[in-house]
Structure 1
């Protein structure tokens, strides 16, 4: 547990994000983003802002969803449509983002130990799905806008508050002090990015490695290995500058309190990491992961269930599991040690399996009452409709889930078909023998002929 890779990576990133969130920087940035867009495109940008809000753990749920209701009501439209559009972006588009988020290293850090069951030297870059996730943002935004405008708004009709219902005002204004703080925080981010660029662009930069014999240029591996601390520095510096200028940070105690608050929300994750660490360790010790991978891949190959249909089936499996298990990390801790090695043996990289999981994990979020923030969204809805409940919310969100599934799965298929990289160091295919010089063979022998277990995992060197 103490050496489990996801533990330290995620906690480090969340320290930085916690400062940016608790100073109010992320909430202010979302307000400015939404307030600047033309009214004719407000729905699209509300959905997009929901996806971008995943940079912070709960800013989208706490800030953007009630803001969506207030914006729609101010435009003379049904506030529940605003709640649904924002919720669709925040939760249904979860993981799709043009910015790196804390989810990227969290998911990748579960993928890597699973890949190590087949290839102990395999590493997974935290941004290995970044290109695909960034390209998904406009697609999900368009799908969410279409559902809102063509399905939900006509169905809800004109909003008429019930007699005696008092609708609280939601403050969407950004003060001049907050705008000034945002400006300086963005300047600080640009300075950090400039320093990072200075460390990677020159061939002798601090974040460049030894000469790569294939390319003839210094390796970028030190930079890739530093992505998590770089993300921490960016969020921490931006949040710190914003807090100092906006006066939400008055002394060093405020900073320590904010980081402590951020860590206090990670208790469940630490428990999940402990269980997952034991789970992965037992898989390694027993060779069960390798056995399941070999048996599973052989069985699927035997019936001809391979390629794109297999990936689509895995996406659907992930979405169904999501209905009964809300935590993204808990689900992936359970599924990764089984499916990552299995699909590696069938020729697909761990990054492809991870991307398929992230797609399946996203669009069904908005349908499960087990989502931790589901009750909060119902509370927001009941401010405008006292009869709103689980059924009301699910019936509103079902068209979004279907639209996102129809949009994202074909996009994923086309991406695979074109052979485009999924992200930084995000290949599509995995050729085990060619890349590592190892292969896994499963031999059934008599019990007395075996030295350790029923299945002996033989390593053959080519």
Structure 2
């Protein structure tokens, strides 16, 4: 008998071949900046075609007729040139990213973030690192969109620091921040925002109907551990094996990653920075909790999150830098801030192109036409019960690929679907149930669409570790998360409805008429 070892099958699995094909197709596209300008050209041509064909829809909430607007018209061409600076400056992520980076830049350049990451990695068991990262991403929605700026690059750095593929860490964090956007253990600014559109839609049928801010809280709490476990499983069993062993580029700076032990000076700096962090948090509490305090109103606190983050990063970073000797005078602080802005140069260029594409897509009214037409098509199918809820989730997810704003889509869709599902069946579904279904569909495709305002920023983060990373790379990386989160969250929601479980304090599951 032969003693030769049995042959080993090294052929890639079907999932690897599938993701490789998606990545090759996506990366065959031009540079993201060029691609956004191509998208602008496509939208302009589409706007001319639909305008010429007199394509229009009726807004279900206002009965206003929305027609396709020709971007080649004199008015829109003039608007493009006269509003160019304003369009760029008003790009939602731009100000948030740059302002937060002023604080993060000091914390980063002094070495505080690097030292804190070393300490964090040493304290978290390797088996829990992925789950902790997904959980941090989910909870980051408390700080509005700051998770895109902080948690996603943090995931890549953490994975690199423990010898794992940094893009797997980036993917896990992106999944938590974006695909898990609606889940949370606490209420976020999204809850009152959506309820403000759901309530008037419900009142089209029931004049005195009230939708509580807590309408979906129990369901969102339940989805949080589900997403954490699922995100960790997908990362460890699908994404990381697909990426393989990481080989950093030749010019990659590994200085921080190679030093895994904290020095005595770093430990002393962390202790001082930790004390200042606690004092800063106490300051925020004093600004927000006492009656009559400047940020006592929930809305004011939420709107101040970005500014508070600047100080929560800047003050500990400043303290750490002074303690370890990285900051000797005020010019060092100014230089660190300037360096952090220089690091964002590539993102600023990409943001310019993305801002104009998204703005011109809005000017053309094509986003509203797609959203309303899709809603009307689903309504005309005549489904009732769970098939209708399932169809609604699917259409919400599909529309989310074209219209990124959760509130903008819900403002259009709520007046159609809330009354329809209230009357579909005996009993019908409550407005709170319809809103919950929308939140499920609105989340899991966030990570697949270049129309997500933060998608360009994620590409820039990925290119720090893989200079060839592009739109195709990110879509291939995130597709397993999107499919997994979408399937599982839909099943959880439908089972939740079948079992008649409460969605939140003060919320109804069915509308009794």
Counterpart among 304, 309, 333 of residue 411 in structure 2:
333
Alpha-carbon deviations, 1:313-339, whole Å to 9, x = none?
100000000111111111111111111
CA–CA distance in 2 between the matches of 1:412 and 1:364? 17
**For the structure 1 residues 235 and 169, does the alpha-carbon distance in structure 2 shift closer, same or farther, using more than 3 Å as the test?**
farther
- Tell me, which stretches of 5 or more residues in structure 2 are unaligned? 1-61, 63-95, 261-265, 319-354, 357-364
Contact kept in structure 2, 1:365 and 1:371, CA below 8 Å: yes
Per-residue deviation, 1:95: 1.2
In structure 2, what is the Cα distance between the partners aligned to 1:73 and 1:337? 47
Partner residue of 1:229 out of 283, 297, 305: 297
The 1:183–1:398 alpha-carbon spacing in structure 2 relative to 1, beyond 3 Å, is same
Cα displacement string for residues 356-413 of structure 1 (whole angstroms, at most 9, x for unaligned residues): 1111011100000110011111111111111110001100100001110121011101
* Residue in 1 that maps onto 2:129: 42
- Indicate the residue corresponding to 1:425 in structure 2: 506
- Aligned residue among 332, 343, 355 for 2:436: 355
CA distance in 2 between counterparts of 1:382 and 1:168 reads: 18
CA distance in 2, matches of 1:101, 1:34: 26
**Root-mean-square deviation (CA), in Å?**
4.5
Change (3 A) 1:24 1:98: farther
Match of 2:483 in 1: 402
Could you tell me how far 1:229 is from its partner in structure 2? 3.2
Counterpart-to-counterpart distance in 2, 1:323 and 1:72: 29
TM-score by length of 1: 0.64
The answer (yes or no) to whether the contact 2:447–2:475 under 8 Å persists in 1 is: yes
Task: Map 1:310-389; keep pairs closer than 5 Å.
Answer: 310-346=388-424, 347-389=428-470
Shift of 1:85: 0.7
Structure 1 residues 21 and 418, CA, compared in 2 at 3 Å: closer, same or farther?
farther
Q: Count residues with an aligned counterpart.
A: 352
1:176 counterpart residue number: 271
Check conservation: 2:130, 2:235, Cα contact below 8 A.
yes
Following superposition, the deviation at residue 81 of structure 1 comes to 0.5
State how far apart, in whole Å, the 2-side matches of 1:183 and 1:307 are: 50
Q: Distance in 1 between matches of 2:243 and 2:486?
A: 23
- Tell me if the contact between 1:21 and 1:239 (Cα under 8 Å) persists in the aligned partners: no
In structure 2, how many angstroms separate the alpha carbons of the residues matched to 1:398 and 1:244?
A: 36
Higher relative contact order (CA 8 A, sep 6+): 2
Q: Any idea what SS the aligned residue of 1:353 has?
A: helix
User: What TM-score, normalized by structure 2, do the two folds share?
Assistant: 0.58
Q: Identify the residue that residue 93 of structure 2 maps to in structure 1.
A: none
Deviation per CA, 1:271-325: give whole Å up to 9, x if none: xxxxx9xx9xxxxxxxx9xxx99x997x66xx6x211111111000000001111
- 2:212 is aligned to 125
